Structure 1
Amino acid sequence: MFGHRLLKLATGSGERRFASSRQSLQQVQRENLSRLLSQVAGTPMAQQTGLLAGMSWEKFTSTQPVTDYDHWRQAIEGQRTLGEQGLSRSPVSRFQPTSGSTSAIKWVPYTKQFLGELDNAISPWVVDLYRQFPRLLKGRHYWSMSWVPTSLRESMSEEINDDLQLMSLGKRLLAGATQAVPQNVSLARTSDDSLFATLAWLAADPSLSMMSIWSPTFGLGMLKDMARWREELADVLASGQWGQRMAGVKNPGCPKSPKAAAMLREWDGALNPDFFRALWPSLALVSAWDTAASGPWAKQLHELLPQASFQGKGLWATEGVVTIPYQGRHTLAYQSHVYEFQNPDDGCVYAPWELEIGQEVMPLLSTGSGLLRYRLKDLVRVDGFNQGVPVLTFLGRAGTTDLVGEKLTAPALDTAIASLSLPDAVTPVCTVAVDDAGQGKPGYLLLLEGQADRPGTIAEKVEDQLQQHFHYQLARNLGQLEPLRCVVHPGMRERYLQQCRERGMIEGNIKMESLQYWPGPLPSWLSALTKVPAVADREPAL
């Protein structure tokens, strides 16, 4: 397609700059800091911490605090709701909603400078995609982002759901010409209607060559919803009319494909690779998270779409980008923000040019949004260097659960679960720390999807592994924690995702995490499942 060639040309200069400056990592980072300080100096938040334009790297890192969202919350809300002065003099395009595993919605100011920083990461990624997967040039693409909850839709701008909004205007127009799904699907009344319309456009497009999403569980959910709505989708594609689905959206447009309609009517709804291969014969690439707890779900998604190659996403957060896939490695997006890395054990902070292979660290971002030394609660390992630029592997969330002093971490759980020989049909979803795991004591519940004849045996093996950690063993010996319990259900992934949504997290933004804390009483569905004794001859049941 001609649009792809124009987009590749437009992003070429950004990729060449990324490629040619890799040996100048320290110089680029110091220049990024100087440019950033010129925008944030003089704002009320900068004055509070004595930040000045022209500060050296050393002065900046020694005088400015490491922060989280709570440090900036009041200032952001004042700007968003009252029009007060913001965190940066760069104009704000919008406030992007995001959420974490333990927090409800946060708002990140997307300024002109910040969007330019994101564009500096997207350009080399896009050029590298076309270089590695030339079949992408021949079909349309689907790029997704976070899906805004129905309750927020009336208050949001129409830009909010579209990955293309992370690009500059010119590149956005070019990329838009290559898309399988028009932007106006984000304007539907509900999330369900947006998703239905997205699936209709995708089903109607046999030229689809790329599907770029974030969470693989979101991709699996899309395929499952296509099966659930197959009759209604067939009606829409046969008639070219939405019915009630896009009511209220101006000029909604509607795809029409008698062939796709017939395929959907003949489909029995089973998630079968043969059906999706026939529906999307040109699909060349699926891009989604595939590291840490997302790995098993990425594997399932790829198995359903075997005609496509699979590329794991880099580490992106709503607050900024850390790595991009580049030349087959997750390379620090060093042209974008100002980066530092903190050792979670001793708090020491390193500049990116000070990192060494094997270190496990958490990224600190200072970005054009005005967030400075902002700690992402993600753990990455330094696995090498791409001509001087760190190559980082995402290991999972860096948080620790500490119900009674047991100090349990996600890597400890990952190691324990990896030591098991789980049945092929069983996949770990998450381990949740709960205030009452039985007998009025706190404890941990390992949630598994599938069918297992002996969940109690699985739980005992994980418990044995966890008791090798001093603080966990001590808490168990003192009777402070219930033993870990294993809860198995065929629909556990969807139940977990629904619980995340109910806690304020945003669809498509939900990572599968190895370890979470769910405060308060258990959800009713989980309480019902845990009433079944975790013994070898019993299965959880609804």
Structure 2
Amino acid sequence: MFGHRLLKMAAWPGERRFAAGRENLEHVQRDKLALLLRKVAACEVGQRRGVAADWQWETFAEQMPVSEYGDWRDPVDRARESGGNALIQSPVVRYQPTSGSTSAIKWIPYTRQFLSELDNAISPWIVDLYRQFPRLSGGRHYWSMSWVPTSLRDNMREDINDDIQLMSMGKRLLAGATQAVPQDVSLARTSEDSLFATLAYLVSDDSLAMMSIWSPTFGLGLLKSMALWREELAEVLASGSWGQRMKGSHTECCPRSPRAAALLRQWDGRLSADFFMTLWPSLALVSAWDTAASSPWARQLHGLLPQAAFQGKGLWATEGVVTIPYQGQYALAYRSHVYEFQDPSDGTIYAPWELEQGQEVMPLLSTGSGLLRYRLKDLVRVDGLPGGIPALTFLGRAGTTDLVGEKLTAAALDASLSQVTLPPKTLPVCTVAVEDTGDGTPGYLLLLEGESANTDNVAKALDAALQQHFHYQLARNLEQLAPLRCVIRPDMRERYLHQCRERGMIEGNIKMESLQYWPGALPVWLREPPVSAREVAL
């Protein structure tokens, strides 16, 4: 397709700069900090916090404390209400909602400066994609939307849902010409209608060459929704009319595909690689998270779409980008933001050029949104320094659950779970720390997806493995923690995702995490004996 050629040409200069500057990491980062400080020092919040435009890297590291969203919430909220931006001298394009594992919605200022920083990461990734997977040029692509709850849609700008908006204007137009799903699908009145319309366009396109999503569980959910709605989708694609869908939206054009409609009507709804290979014969690549707790779900998604290669995402957050897939590794996006890295064990902070292979650290970002030394609670391992820039692998969330002093980390949980044999065809979804396991005692629940099985031995084995960690063992010996309990259900992933949404998280930002803390009362389905998925509504 001609659009692909133009997109590659537009991204090529950014990729050349990325490739050429790798040996000058320190110089590039110091220059980026100097530019950022000039823009921050010119604004209200920067002046109030004493930021100076002439700070050197060492002065900035000494004078500016590490921050989290709570340190910026008040000025961001005031700026949203006034329509301005008090954090940095750059116009705000929009405020992007996001959420953490347990936090309510946060709003990140997407300024022109910040978007240009994201574009500096997207360009080398795009060029490298076409270089590694040449079949991508032969069909349309799907870049998933940043799904937003229905309740937020009426109060947001029209461009907030589309991940293509992370690109520069020129690349955005070119990428839009290669897309399988029109941008205005994101403007549907409800999340369900957006999802339905997305599926209609995807199912109708037998030239689909790429699916770029974030969580592999979102991809699995797309396929399951396709099975659930297959009859309605077949009717829409046969008639070329939305019927009862998409009312009140700006999307008037409806896809039509007699071929896809016939396939859906013949399909029994079981998810199988044979069906999806017939539906999307040209699919060349699936891109999604595939590390840490996302790994088993990525394997499951790839198993259903074996005609495509699979590429893991780099580490992206709504607050900024840390790594991109580049030349077979997750390379630091060193031309995007200002980066530092903190050792979680002793708090030491390193500049990116000071990192050494084997270190496990947490990224600190200073970005064109105006957030300075912003700590992402993600743990990464330094796998090497190819070409002069760090290659980093995401290991999981760096947070600690501490109900009664047990100080349990995701890494410790993962190591313990690796010692446990699960029942056949069973996948771990998450281990959650809860304040009341059912008898008033706090403890941990291992959520498993699979058919009903006796999991007593699994619970005992994991509890014993966790007791290799001093603080957890002490809490168990003192009966401060209840014995770990397993809950297994065939639809556990859907229940977990629903619970995350109930706790204020946004679809598309939800990662599969090996360890979470769920404050408050347990959902009913975690307190009652298991029943079939059809008997209990989420």
The question of a shared fold, defined as TM-score above 0.5 by the shorter chain, is answered with yes
Letter in 2 for 1:212: S
Residues 47-446 of structure 1: matches in 2 within 5 Å? 47-83=47-83, 85-446=85-446
| Residue number in structure 2 paired with 1:449 | 449
Instruction: Report if aligned partners of 1:29, 1:338 keep a CA contact under 8 Å in 2.
Output: yes
Q: 2:270, 2:174 → 1: CA distance?
A: 37
TM-score, length basis structure 2: 0.98
Q: 1:22, 1:14 → 2: CA distance?
A: 13
Letter in 2 for 1:485: R
Shift of 1:44: 2.4
Q: 1:190 to 1:85 in 2, by over 3 A?
A: closer
Q: 2:271, 2:423 → 1: CA distance?
A: 20
Letter in 2 for 1:528: E
Q: Deviations over 1:483-512 (max 9, x none)?
A: 111111111000000000111111111000
Task: Answer yes or no: is 1:32 the counterpart of 2:32.
Answer: yes
Letter in 1 for 2:44: P
Which moves more between the two structures, 32-41 or 321-330? 32-41
Q: 2:82, 2:267 → 1: CA distance?
A: 53
Instruction: Report if aligned partners of 2:46, 2:88 keep a CA contact under 8 Å in 1.
Output: no
Q: 1:486, 1:469 → 2: CA distance?
A: 20
SS of the residue corresponding to residue 390 of structure 2 reads strand
Instruction: Report if aligned partners of 2:38, 2:53 keep a CA contact under 8 Å in 1.
Output: yes
Shift of 1:424: 3.3
Shift of 1:50: 1.2
Pairs aligned (count)? 534
Q: 2:511, 2:251 → 1: CA distance?
A: 34
Q: 2:529, 2:37 → 1: CA distance?
A: 53
Structure 1 alignment gaps of length 5 or more:
533-540
Letter in 1 for 2:374: Y
Instruction: Report if aligned partners of 1:144, 1:161 keep a CA contact under 8 Å in 2.
Output: no
SS of the residue corresponding to residue 155 of structure 1 reads coil
Task: Answer yes or no: is 1:526 the counterpart of 2:530.
Answer: no
Q: 1:167, 1:453 → 2: CA distance?
A: 48
Which moves more between the two structures, 238-247 or 304-313? 238-247
Please list every run of at least 4 consecutive aligned residues from structure 1 whose deviation after the TM superposition is greater than 3 angstroms: none
Shift of 1:251: 4.7
SS of the residue corresponding to residue 331 of structure 2 reads strand
Shift of 1:23: 0.4
| Residue number in structure 1 paired with 2:501 | 501
| Residue number in structure 2 paired with 1:535 | none
Instruction: Report if aligned partners of 1:15, 1:124 keep a CA contact under 8 Å in 2.
Output: yes
Letter in 2 for 1:94: R
Letter in 2 for 1:493: R
Structure 2 alignment gaps of length 5 or more:
none
SS of the residue corresponding to residue 97 of structure 2 reads strand
Shift of 1:439: 2.3
Q: 1:262, 1:520 → 2: CA distance?
A: 48
Q: Deviations over 1:426-462 (max 9, x none)?
A: 0000000000113211000000000253200000110
Letter in 1 for 2:141: H
Q: 2:529, 2:139 → 1: CA distance?
A: 46
Shift of 1:244: 1.9
Letter in 2 for 1:4: H
SS of the residue corresponding to residue 339 of structure 1 reads strand
Q: 2:439, 2:2 → 1: CA distance?
A: 66
Instruction: Report if aligned partners of 1:487, 1:529 keep a CA contact under 8 Å in 2.
Output: no
Shift of 1:48: 2.7
Shift of 1:420: 1.9
Q: 2:98, 2:243 → 1: CA distance?
A: 32
Letter in 2 for 1:145: M
Instruction: Report if aligned partners of 1:287, 1:313 keep a CA contact under 8 Å in 2.
Output: yes
SS of the residue corresponding to residue 385 of structure 2 reads strand
Q: Deviations over 1:235-284 (max 9, x none)?
A: 00000000121111235211000010000000000001100000000000
Q: Deviations over 1:114-144 (max 9, x none)?
A: 0000000000000000000000000000001
| Residue number in structure 1 paired with 2:14 | 14
Letter in 2 for 1:92: V
Q: Deviations over 1:66-86 (max 9, x none)?
A: 000000000000000133542
Which moves more between the two structures, 323-332 or 159-168? 159-168
Instruction: Report if aligned partners of 2:185, 2:251 keep a CA contact under 8 Å in 1.
Output: no
Q: 2:178, 2:342 → 1: CA distance?
A: 40
Letter in 1 for 2:419: S
Q: 2:197, 2:495 → 1: CA distance?
A: 24
Instruction: Report if aligned partners of 2:476, 2:482 keep a CA contact under 8 Å in 1.
Output: yes
Q: Deviations over 1:349-405 (max 9, x none)?
A: 000000011111000000000000000000000011121100000000000000000
Q: Deviations over 1:180-225 (max 9, x none)?
A: 0000101111000000000000000000000000000000000000
| Residue number in structure 2 paired with 1:486 | 486
Q: 1:211, 1:424 → 2: CA distance?
A: 30
Q: 1:385, 1:481 → 2: CA distance?
A: 43
Percent sequence identity over matched residues?
Answer: 71
Instruction: Report if aligned partners of 1:426, 1:452 keep a CA contact under 8 Å in 2.
Output: no
Q: 1:61, 1:175 → 2: CA distance?
A: 39
RMSD: 1.3
SS of the residue corresponding to residue 411 of structure 2 reads helix
| Residue number in structure 1 paired with 2:42 | 42
Instruction: Report if aligned partners of 1:101, 1:500 keep a CA contact under 8 Å in 2.
Output: yes
Letter in 2 for 1:124: P
Q: 1:145, 1:184 → 2: CA distance?
A: 11
Q: 1:478, 1:156 → 2: CA distance?
A: 50
Q: 2:44, 2:91 → 1: CA distance?
A: 16
TM-score, length basis structure 1: 0.97
Q: 2:344, 2:182 → 1: CA distance?
A: 43
SS of the residue corresponding to residue 103 of structure 1 reads coil
SS of the residue corresponding to residue 104 of structure 2 reads strand
| Residue number in structure 2 paired with 1:3 | 3
Q: 1:298, 1:285 → 2: CA distance?
A: 13
